[in-house]
Amino acid sequence: MIHQWATDRGFCNTVLTLYELANGDDTVGQEFYNLDPATLRRSLEVLQSQGRAQLFVGSSDDDTAMADANEHDVTFESTDSGSAMTFPLQCSALRKNGHVVIKTRPCKIIDMSTSKTGKHGHAKVNLVATDIFTGRKYEDLSPSTHNMDVPIITRMEYTLIDIEKNTNDEVKGRGFLSLMTEDGTMKEDVKVPDSEIGDKIIADFEQGLELMVTVVSAMGEEHAMSHKEAPKGNN
């Protein structure tokens, strides 16, 4: 709803304040007009997670600004940029348990702290994060006003139909999962994980269990990250 309004009005790639969205002349009559700041911000955070908006603190480095949702700005991304794998976000707007790109890898933030260097120095943000696929730890130190890339992460659940085992000793890996979407479309390009997760998927499948596999995609990579027994149908 909000993104469609921004697209229709030509506000994509334009910086707007949350006050302008909730109380501006351009939004009179919209369903989100006079929406309370906390609810509006939650809606924008959903758009941000989808790569369709960027929510960040304005020009202030003061941590107290984070407490006031009205002091946040937002930009809306055009829908024709759907092929993008990341979107920029001001470093000070990153949050623990959120995601960020460090050394070209999609990572989950496990710790972050802000410090200042010198009397006239800019605030700096120290990030500690782990690769969402490999678990490797990374660290980064950047000015709070610096833009960081945030990976666009998607999670899809598939029905496991079969496991194609690798019988070629010259090819690394354990083979591929044969997966099916809800509409019956087959997907056969996700590798069996070379990890304990892969061991459990194979073991449960060989026991005859009907399984659902969750595939996480980010920055051109896809990995099977978890699985569970499929819910039993009603007889």
Note the pLDDT tens digit of each residue in 25-76.
888 888 888 888 888 887 887 777 666 777 665 444 444 333 344 456 677 6
Structure tokens at 188: 């056969």
Q: How far apart are CA 193 and CA 191, in angstroms?
A: 6
Give the pLDDT score at 129.
Answer: 97
Give the pLDDT score at 65.
Answer: 34
Structure tokens at 121: 């120095």
Residue 87's SS3 state is strand
For residue 131, pLDDT over 80 is answered with yes
Percent of the chain with pLDDT over 90: 44
Confidence of residue 83 (pLDDT cuts 50, 70, 90): low
Confidence of residue 14 (pLDDT cuts 50, 70, 90): low
Q: Phi and psi at residue 40, in whole multiples of 5°?
A: -60, -45
Residue 148's SS3 state is strand
Give the pLDDT score at 180.
Answer: 95
For residue 235, pLDDT over 50 is answered with no
Q: How far apart are CA 200 and CA 204, in angstroms?
A: 6
Q: What is the mean pLDDT of residues 165-169?
A: 67
Structure tokens at 19: 């006050």
Q: How far apart are CA 17 and CA 5, in angstroms?
A: 15
Q: What is the pTM of this model?
A: 0.62
